[in-house]
Amino acid sequence: MNTSPNLAGKAALVTGASRGIGAAIARRLAADGAAVAITYSSSPEKAAEVVKEIEAAGGRAIAIQADASDAGAVRAAVGKAAADLGRLDILVNNAGVAIMAPLPELSEADFERTFAINVKALFVASQEAAKHLPEGGRIIHIGSVNSDSAPFPGLTAYSMSKAAVAGMTRAMARDLGPRGITVNNIQPGPVDTDMNPASGPFADTLRGLMALGRYGRADEVAGLVSFLAGSDGGYVTGANLKIDGGFDV
């Protein structure tokens, strides 16, 4: 029986992983045996805490400062992760922003920032990672159920950006498939984090839209990332996978 961790000997980069879903993903990949680099924008203390947790559990982790709205910083972070870890096998594009406003109030600056972080950063990171990923490499985007569902007003820019991620996933999978690299998109519904707490002002409304009637947990999303990153997920590519508790079914 093979008792070694599923990702032993692998190296992963998780963007926007100083808290919430990203931090849970980083911890899970490290627990699975991968060396992990995380990026953060403005929370060095929180990023350091994630690194410390992983190291305390016997894993290897580093933190890299990179503003997801700065394409040059994103590209440099991918290169640094590959250099410092000695390789790069897995990229998880988790960094994102949710700017919500009714269409008449949505500024061009808000629109541009949404796409810089939610779309362009994913493109740039994936393009740079493709220089390093070996056969069997993985690119995993963290999108949103709102790519094809807008159950309340104010989601124009956000939903559009996440729909772009879904389309990009299919096209990237086609481009990188001949190299044995998979590309998939995980689309969470409401997940209990500090940005969208299960006790928040909209929580009851959101719970009413879900078949399971509860918020998801960050570790549940991390579990799906783990599956796609490991050997069992090797025949899944170009997929947009909802993990949403039956959101608006």
The set of catalytic residues is 158
H-assigned helices in the chain: 20-31, 44-56, 71-85, 108-115, 121-129, 156-176, 203-207, 218-229
Q: Could you identify the residue written with the tokens 């949103």?
A: 144
At 220, list the tokens: 């549940």
Paired residues of 37 in beta bridges = 13, 62
DSSP state of 236: -
175 Cβ contact partners less than 8 Å away, ≥ 6 residues apart? none
Beta-carbon neighbour count of residue 86 at 10 Å? 8
